[in-house]
Amino acid sequence: MATNEGSEPEYVDISKINVGQGEGYEKKCIFCKVVNNEMGTEILHVDEEVSCFRDIKPGAPHHYLVVPTRHVGNCKSLSKEHVSLVEKMVEIGMEILQKNNVLDLSDVRFGFHWPPFCSVSHLHLHVLAPASQMGFMSRLFYRPNSYWFVTADQLIQQLNS
């Protein structure tokens, strides 16, 4: 990730990642368009595996989405082979929080909406902090152990079993 001396991230040159509109790109997927720099969204991190940007409807003071750089379906379509991808998504989420001065990593929420409760079918990890500052509706939408939201740890455990 490119950063300048302050805490503000610079735009990352995703042309070097070469996602393009070929394999791993769904032309109707909004997150594929974001990662392919078609939406003008500020990309906070991008590499061959995952990309990160801010959620357009933040549920907490820090609300980021970490997505596979190439299109992967929702969490219900994953298998054991995807565990390392989910772990990498969590790792990048942690890095983004730390780079944005979120130091209390015990007050964060990492998770996925479970189909049919996800609005975009491209796999995306919600990274929210501080969880203690989430409003009533956000606490409901991103509630762990609910029918509609699973934590990253719960998903990894399920994929491993």
Instruction: Provide the CA 28 distance to its chain's centre, in angstroms.
Output: 19
Residue 61 near residue 130 (C-beta atoms within 8 A): yes
Nearest CA among 103, 32, 21, 18 for reference residue 62: 103
End-to-end CA distance of the chain: 33
Give yes or no: 124 in active site.
yes
**43-46, strands of its sheet edge to edge:** 43-46, 50-54, 62-68, 125-129, 109-113, 149-151
Q: Which of 71, 82, 113, 124 is catalytic?
A: 124
Signed CA dihedral, 71, 77, 80, 86: sign only = positive
Write the CA distances from 156 to 30, 90, 145, integer angstroms. Answer: 25, 11, 14
Query: Looking at the annotation, which residues are catalytic?
Result: 124
